[in-house]
Chains A and B, each alone.
Chain A
Amino acid sequence: MGPAVSHAMPRSSRRSDVVRNALITLAAVIITLGVMEVAARLLVIAALPRQSHNPEFDAKFVIAKSPTPADGSRPVIFAGGSYVRTGIYSEFLLTELQEHGIKVYPKNLGTSASSIVEHMTLLTQAVDSCSRTPVVFYDLRQESFSKRFQDNRALNTSGKFLDSYMGRKYAVANPNPLQRLQLLLEDNFCLVRQRLFLRHKLINLVPVLCRFDKEYENGMVRYNNNYNGSLILPVSAMGTILVPVFSTSNFEQFFNKFAGNEQDDLTRWNGMDWSDSWINTVKTYCRERNIPLILLWMPEYMPNEKESEQTRQRSLELAAHYASLTDNEHVWLIDMHDIDKERDHFRDPVHCNTVGAIAATQELAKRLMQPPFRQIIENEGKKQ
């Protein structure tokens, strides 16, 4: 190890070398990242199920071109968290309703692990961009009515929180240059957005090479999910964004993880300190603009063995509370929480997977064809 001076950069060759090398480096980096981005996109596209569980879905959604909303369609906005995000296919709903003569333009703004601040940001942007008064569907989440949950969410603006996945989503409302950059990259690059999925694929390369049956391929869900102003554009205008959601293969593991953890287990019920301030924000916003608000209680998986007096009590208590939020003038409720008992329709106790989302969307479409919802949607909806 000689003295440091002998390893210093010679001054004479500094400037020209540095500029030349910087340009070469930049070009090489851009080309490599471009190639890797294309490879990542191909990998994600290749992960689409070769054989979908539902041929109807394949015909209408996977194989077919994305449907275009008819002229004069009524905007329908789905806002809220991951239950809506994973449980509602806006394009599928559009096709279903359009076939029955209901002209809608659904947009799913559900965002995983999001906060009310983010919901309101997205909702405001979406409503402002609509030429007609939209119909808003809002995701009801049991835990969000807990005062403790809301307080924690409000307090969790620490560095640790902001570094977390949830924090990064929350950062939309509290912009920080680095987090904004991260979100920008996530929104536009498959390589960034699908990082976990790509890692999963790469780690499983050995089993893929060594096994011949290849049965463990994962199912896919696609949805439109963005965080900034561009989210209001239709999916086709933004390019299709494919997001993998793993099948129910690890379902039991997930369920077992929840077992015994009463604090996080949504299927257990110990009562809670209600706080409606969260939902009141949305209600007030919609009422002030004369926007019809339909609260959605999305499907939950409740296996028979877990059904107990406690869970029944929870359902009754929640149903009563959710009903108390409606007035059937401005605010309605669609309760779908117990429509689906199929284990294979969920990827965890509260989130639908591909097949579950199809079932939930079909059920929702059915309900929307019935009064009073059909009338609400078909109303002229002049913007005020």
Chain B
Amino acid sequence: MNFASNEFVVFLLAVWGLFLVLPARFRAPLLLLASYYFYATWSLPFVGVILITTSIDYFASKLLFSSPSPAKRKAILWSALSVNLFVLGFFKYCNFFLDATHSAIKAIGWHTHVPAHLDILLPLGISYYTFEAISYLMDVYRGSRPSKSWLEYNFYIMFFPHLISGPIVRFNELSPQYAQPLEIPSKERVCKGIELIVLGYIFKAIIANSCVAIADPVFGAPEKATVLETYLGALAFTTQIYFDFMGYTHIARGVSLLFNIELPLNFNHPFTAANISNFWERWQISLTRWIRDYIFIPLGGTRRSFPRVLVNLFLIMFICGIWHGSGWRYVIWGAYYGLLVVAYHSYKKIRSRLLGAHENAILQNKIYSVGSTLLTFAAVYLACVIFRAPAVDGALIMFGKLAQFGALFNDIHVCLSTAEYTIFGLFTLLFLCCFAGPLAERIYTAAMRRLPYFCKVQLVTAAATASWVFCAPDMQPFIYFQF
């Protein structure tokens, strides 16, 4: 069930209606049942996969908590982690490894009976719920209390707003909110929830969906696009992925609030980041936090030697890349971000040494700040080309086009001389979408504070209707559903 479908709206209204009328003690079980139904509408057999893994994790956590022997606890932890990682690896990476093995064997001229591909369907949201399960096991291993009941743990994994594409929540963040019987949310929470849902639909249906029409033709046939169109297509996809994912997160957070459960923020104007590290602190915050807490810190964090820290930073970005998907472009994408982060931290260290006490003054300089923001955006923009290109070849063609500055100026000249300003209008709009976030948020907050309730409702109705119009039948599903 896609968030951007009529079925989901009907489902949500039905579940919320029941949530409001049922006694408090039945509300959490209702949400759990609804979550299973939500997942089963996509695939009933994979509900079984979740049931098995959650049961293993739950009982492993109980054993972990009760076991006094450190060696035994470690063994239990690794066993449970292995099960989760095996399931994730099998469904997500099996075909990638098979294909790579097959190609390698063929390349050296041997004959093989190894199949190049198996018909494996990727369970929806597996990357997310596996990471949540791992965080739970690690937290219990580190001393947190495990879940009181199997149902409580299941609720944490299955709660439908965050099941498919996050945000990746920790058990200790979510469970206190439903440990007591769930109350009806306050009016403020309901309003905030509806506001987030409508904003989410605007981001997804109006902005991201409109970008598809620009990005898809360019990425579909990069060799046919002009240089200017290639620039526009890549910018459109950069905007699309941001608003697509942020739209999903807004809807997820808004829906949760309707059930009196708060999910953490996942995006904080990432395109205004002044460096690549800062970008990852603002982009998919819950994933970055997970990687920091469960990979980077166990690897030694910043306490190790500087070269070792750089290796660890590269490693976590590389893992982040392959977490996104199986394919060489994700490997390259992860490695690219790894190199960027390593380069940034090296530069930062050199900058501190060179500038000493003047560093802060330079950092606060407006020109430096704007320049570094644009440079960071350019790096992210190129990463988006790797991410979206259907194959590595396609990405290389696009990079080739993006490097043709002479042809770019020629294209601009042609457009100007023929009074064809559409492309410039689109560039302006897309840049505004990417960078005007903080300003738009300030204006929006101030305006909403002054507006009477009646006008607010009108605004929400108009926005929701406009989003619905944009959700017309051929709309693409959320990009992060595939991960």
- A positions within 8 Å CB-CB of B: 1, 3-5, 7-10, 17, 21, 24-25, 27-29, 31-33, 36, 163, 165, 178, 191, 195-196, 198-199, 202-203, 206-207, 209-212
Contact = CB atoms under 8 A, between A and B. Distances in A.
A203 B426 CA distance: 11
B422 A4 contact: no
Contacts of B186: 7-10
B425 A8 contact: no
Interface in B226-277: 260-262, 264
A320 to B, nearest CB: 39
A31 B461 CA distance: 10
B453 A211 contact: no
Contacts of B453: 21, 24
Contacts of B262: 1, 7
Interface string B265-304: 0000000000000000000000000000000000000000
Given A1-B173, A3-B180, A211-B420, A33 B461 contact: yes
Interface stretch (B343-351, B396-404, B465-473): B465-473
Given A4-B180, A21-B453, A210 B425 contact: yes
B260 A196 contact: no
B183 A31 contact: no
Given A1-B173, A17-B187, A28 B429 contact: no
Given A32-B462, A199-B472, A7 B185 contact: yes
A36 B184 CA distance: 32
A28 B469 CA distance: 19
B421 interface: yes
Nearest to A206: B425
B422 A24 contact: no
Contacts of A196: 472-473
Ordered nearest first, which 3 A-B pairs have the shortest CB separation? A8-B183, A28-B457, A210-B425
A10 B187 CA distance: 9
Contacts of A212: 419
Contacts of A206: 422, 425-426, 429
Contacts of B419: 212
A247 B186 CA distance: 51
Given A3-B176, A4-B176, 7 more contacts: A4-B182, A4-B261, A29-B457, A191-B465, A198-B469, A203-B210, A206-B425
22 contacts: A1-B177, A3-B177, A4-B183, A4-B261, A7-B185, A7-B188, A7-B189, A8-B185, A9-B183, A9-B186, A24-B457, A28-B455, A28-B457, A32-B461, A165-B473, A191-B469, A196-B472, A202-B469, A203-B210, A207-B422, A210-B426, A211-B421
A196 B473 CA distance: 8
Contacts of B184: 8-9
B448 interface: no
B465 A33 contact: yes
B462 A36 contact: yes
Interface string B384-410: 000000000000000000000000000
A4 B178 contact: yes
B444 interface: no
Contacts of A178: 10
B424 interface: yes
A167 to B, nearest CB: 12
A206 B426 CA distance: 7
Contact of A21 (B176, B187, B260, B458): B187
B40 interface: no
A196 B472 CA distance: 6
B454 interface: yes
B454 A28 contact: yes
Contacts of B185: 7-9
A24 B454 contact: yes
A207 B423 CA distance: 8
A211 B455 CA distance: 34
Contact of B260 (A7, A25, A202, A203): A7
Interface in B166-185: 173, 176-178, 180, 182-185
B428 to A, nearest CB: 9
B187 A9 contact: yes
Nearest to A201: B469
B51 interface: no
A50 to B, nearest CB: 21
Given A1-B173, A32-B462, A191-B465, A210 B180 contact: no
B213 interface: yes
B211 to A, nearest CB: 10
A28 B463 CA distance: 13
Interface in B1-55: 7, 10
A44 B473 CA distance: 19
Contact of B465 (A5, A9, A36, A165): A36
Contacts of B469: 191, 195, 198-199, 202
A207 B472 CA distance: 20
Contacts of A8: 183-186, 260
Nearest to A10: B186
Contacts of B187: 9, 17, 21
A17 B186 CA distance: 11
Nearest to B264: A1
Contacts of A199: 469-470, 472
Nearest to B176: A3
Contacts of B426: 206, 210
Contacts of A29: 457-458, 461
A206 B187 CA distance: 38
A116 B139 CA distance: 62
Contact of A210 (B210, B260, B421, B462): B421
B43 to A, nearest CB: 14
A160 to B, nearest CB: 11
Contacts of A9: 183-187
Interface string B429-462: 1000000000000000000000001110110011
B233 to A, nearest CB: 15
A199 B468 CA distance: 9
Given A7-B185, A9-B187, A210-B424, A28 B461 contact: yes
A28 B456 CA distance: 9
Contacts of A203: 210, 213, 470
Nearest to B205: A199
A210 B422 contact: yes
Contacts of B424: 210
A202 B207 CA distance: 11
A196 B471 CA distance: 9
